[in-house]
Each structure stands twice: as C-alpha cells, then as structure tokens.
Structure 1
Amino acid sequence: MVGDKKYPNRVKELREANGISQARLAQLVDVSDTSIQNYEYEIRDIPGEVLAKMAEVFGTSSDYILMQTDNPSRIEYSLMSLDQEDGYVDVPIYGEIAAGTPIEMLEFEDEFPVPTKVKNQHPHSGLLRVKGDSYNRRLPNGCLALVDFDMKEPNEHDPFAVCVNGYSATVKRVKRLANGFELIPNSYDPTYIPTVFDYNKHDTEEITIIGQVVWATMPFDYEI
C-alpha cells in the first residue's frame, strides 16, 4: 500500500523534466507501463537493474533517483581508503589540456592513484587539475577530475572538460544547440553565468569537447 512505502523517489519528477511519457520510459528500461506507475506512486520499490537503466536514461545517479543525495551529477567522488582490496593505479595529472593535441603527446605534471576498477571502466582517461570556481558546487578549485576522453557526447547533467578556441580545458555542463553550444557553470558564485556560442554569428569561438568528467578526488596536499 502507498502508506507503507520504503523508498521515495524522483522518477516522476525526472521523467516529466525530460519530456518522457510513462509508456516511453517503460520501453527504455524494459518494464511494463504499470510498473512505472507503481514506481512513481511509490507502491513498489525499483529493482536494482531497472534503477541502473533509469540512471542512464536520466543522466544521473541511482542515489539521486532514490533521494539519497541532492547531487544530480553522475560523478563518483572518492576519498583514499586504507582498504585497497581492488587496488589503485597511477594516472597522469594534466595541468592543461588543449584542443587538437593528442593526449599521448601532452606532458603531465604528476601522477595520482585512481581505483583500478574506475580506471578499467574508463581506460582512455586522465586526471585534470581543476582551476577556478566556475564549477565549485561539484568540483572545488584544486580537486582532481578524471576525464574520459572517449565520452564526448554532451548532456545538460554531467560536467565536461571543454576547450574554447583551442585553449586549455575548462569544466562546464554542455548543452548542444541547433548551431552551437551553451556552456553552463555550476558555482556558488552567481557572477558565473551560462555562455552561448552561436556559430551563426561571425567570429564565434570554437568549442571542442575533450571528454566527460566521470570521477573526482582531492589531492593529498589539498587544504580545506
């Protein structure tokens, strides 16, 4: 019964925000229309495999769908643990990543251990040292962000490393427009505002997507 629900969720909110019907969502996650209704009315808990598919559809995390966090990003944050059962692998830290330069040719400033499991999921990736406060709600100045260089298709939920006019990378959410892009900050500072790059306008700077930020951590010397 509805009054005996265990796990509240954001399924209806996310579905409507993404303009998806109940029938279409049912198709995307391979369940019946009735199941979607039961999830939205919180009559039934969402099975793990269905929850994982919903997270992919909505571009968010399972925890966000289940209201275990208010962070809609799919970034995995990690603190170094003494329990290294799965092991760690050293990954290069790139101080700057510029458009058009192969990653293999870039000089890196240092290395930092990343969980082997995460690295195996994103084999063509590297760490970018975040500079500035334009995305400090999720990625504070000085943190290390793991960028998957194969994940270049933008969405409005996840942070991406992007280059503006060929210069070093910045981190923003990226909205694809009919003929351009909108770069969206995520900052506690309201002076950081979205910027539209409209290629219908002369001299609009070129945007290059370097890759999606998939994991983040703080370096050992980070000062709180």
Structure 2
Amino acid sequence: MKITPDPNLRILLIGASGGIGAAMADALQGTRLATLSRSADGLDVTDEASVAAAAARLEGPFDLIFDATGALEIGGHGPEKALAQIDPQAMAAQFALNAIGPALLLKHFGPHLRREGRAVFATLSARVGSIGDNRLGGWISYRAAKAALNQIVRTAAIELARRNRETIVVALHPGTVQTDLTRKYLGRHPAVTPEEAAQNLLKVLAGLTPAQNGGFFDYAGKDIPW
C-alpha cells in the first residue's frame, strides 16, 4: 500500500541524496518538504559547525524531521569479521558518522520540531545495533556505533518530550535495502528496493504515538530489543 503524504505536513529530510533518503524524498512529494544533503548543500554531519549553520538557515516548526544519514562502509573500511580486524581510526569514523552525527542533528534541529501537537524525529538505525539480538558477532564498529545511536535516541526522547508531550523520537531499522553501499554485503539476505523501504518507513511513521517515544522499531513497526 502506498502511503499518501499530507500536503499540510512540514517535513525536513536530512541525507536526501542517499539511497533511502532519495526514495524518501520522492515518496514525500506533495508535502511541504525541505531537504538537506552533503552533495546538494555541503552538509557534513560529523562537523558541528556545518550542522549548526544548516540549522540556522532553516525555520521551523517541522512536524517530522527524518535523518537518513549513515554508512556501513567508510573510507574503504568494511565491517570487521573478528576482533583482530579492529582499526581505531575506522571505529572512530563509524562513531562520528553513525552516532555523533545524529546526536548533533538532535542538538541543532531538535529545537525546530513543533512545540505543540504531534512532532516526530526519526533516525535510521540498524537491527545489528541491538545488543540483545546479537547472536553472530562481527561487525563490531558498526554494531557499536548503532548501539550508541540507540542510546542517544532514547535519551533525547526523554528530554524533548518535556517541552512537548506529543513528541516522538525513534530509531528505525529499514530492513536490508538494495543500495550501492550495501550491495556487496547482501549475500543471501532478502532485500527490498529503496522505494519499498521508504513506503514501509512512512507507514511506520504514520502509526507512531507518543507512547512509543524513545523506541526502536523495524520496518513493520515491531519493537527491536535494545
């Protein structure tokens, strides 16, 4: 089922040039959509000055801020298969992009969320960031960065709900998505197109309630263990 966007919604999509981000941008046509990306706007979520400048250029309030930034492979470093493959710089890069980046977005764009009525901040996490669901090992830096992101989301959700009880801050797992960044890691896992992923995520977003603030959900809206 295709989710039809509400033309009255004010939405900010960050990371609009990536595989999932671009599909989300297409799916959200018909809303009052603003987009930000590295390629089009020079936004670098690992640089606080860049994030702060981008936030200063925009005026809220937004009903939804969707963060589609992040990467599995950074600087040619793929996921580790064993502890012996840990590289400190590669691990730091994972945390900079996949954890600190969204934290900076929450810091500088969180104030742009609507202060009254339903307001949502959603960021892309990953099931492999679940500590409770980890039974295979490996992918240490990426797992750890996404686990850190989940804690950031949980903590930010508490703070942002204090100024608007209808605020919903969540981490979302989009499933395995066919993008250039994940192609070599798909293996035998069933994968969906970015367009399918966007529709799945929009359906989840449409159904979220304030009672789910601070949660971690998959593309079907099901809870994922921390």
| Shared fold per TM-score greater than 0.5 | no
Q: Give the number of the structure with larger relative contact order, counting CA–CA contacts within 8 Å between residues 6 or more apart.
A: 2
| The structure with more radius of gyration | 1
Higher helix share: 2
Higher strand share: 1
Q: TM-score, normalised by structure 2?
A: 0.24
